[in-house]
């Protein structure tokens, strides 16, 4: 077991009016073919003393360029995942400092339009593409070390998804 701590983190399931969820493709994590890959939900670190609800809206603004959302649900538990050793060995900075992430997940209703989603809003964008997906697709889109969390999120927030 690693002596490194978990990093506190918030995650967002951003639902549009049709009950679909925003997923974005990481620009810095290659897939098996060496191209950009790693589809994921917006997520990010929590600053010391930061309110979790404010943190998730801040992360949306930083990662996808908009905070036009309202929180509609919160997962009751903190969920954890561990980084695979090859991420730290490959220079992935966060994986060098932390063993994994301890996450508080929120479901949010998107109150904007697709034009409000701006991956280029940050000078160092984390994502290079985004799309709306069915909630049940999440586990298959996720990198393997996040898959169990995405399965739990799909179960826990199924009542908010499109039928």
Quick check: 95 and 88 in contact, CB under 8 A?
A: yes
Q: What pLDDT score was predicted for residue 153?
A: 98
Mean of pLDDT over the chain: 90
Q: What pLDDT score was predicted for residue 29?
A: 62
The tokens for 87 are: 């991420």
**When comparing pLDDT for 32 and 55, which is higher?**
55
Residue 22 has a CB neighbour count (10 Å cut-off) of 23
Within the chain, where are the H helices? 52-64, 85-89, 93-97, 138-141, 147-156
Enter the pTM of the model: 0.91
Residue 157 is classified by DSSP as T
pLDDT band at residue 30 using 50, 70 and 90 as cut-offs: low
pLDDT band at residue 124 using 50, 70 and 90 as cut-offs: confident
The domains of the chain are located at 6-160
Q: What pLDDT score was predicted for residue 35?
A: 41
Q: How far apart are the first and last CA of the chain?
A: 41
The tokens for 67 are: 């905070």
Pairing of strands 21-30, 127-133: antiparallel
6-160, which class in CATH? alpha beta
Run of H or E residues at 95 = helix 93-97
């Amino acid at each position: 077991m690693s002596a490194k701590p978990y990093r506190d983190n918030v995650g967002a399931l951003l639902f549009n009016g049709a009950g679909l969820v925003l997923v974005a493709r990481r620009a810095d994590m290659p897939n098996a073919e060496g191209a950009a890959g790693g589809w994921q939900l917006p997520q990010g670190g929590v600053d010391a003393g930061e309110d979790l609800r404010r943190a998730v809206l801040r992360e949306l603004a930083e990662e996808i360029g908009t905070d036009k959302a309202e929180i509609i649900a919160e997962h009751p538990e903190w969920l954890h995942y561990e980084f695979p050793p090859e991420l730290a060995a490959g220079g992935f900075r966060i994986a060098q400092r932390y063993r994994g992430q301890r996450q508080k997940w929120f479901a949010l209703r998107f109150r904007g339009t697709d034009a409000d989603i701006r991956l280029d809003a940050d000078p160092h964008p984390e994502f290079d593409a985004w799309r709306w997906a069915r909630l049940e697709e999440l586990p298959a889109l996720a990198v393997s070390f996040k898959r169990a969390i995405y399965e739990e999120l799909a179960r826990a927030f199924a009542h908010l998804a499109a039928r």
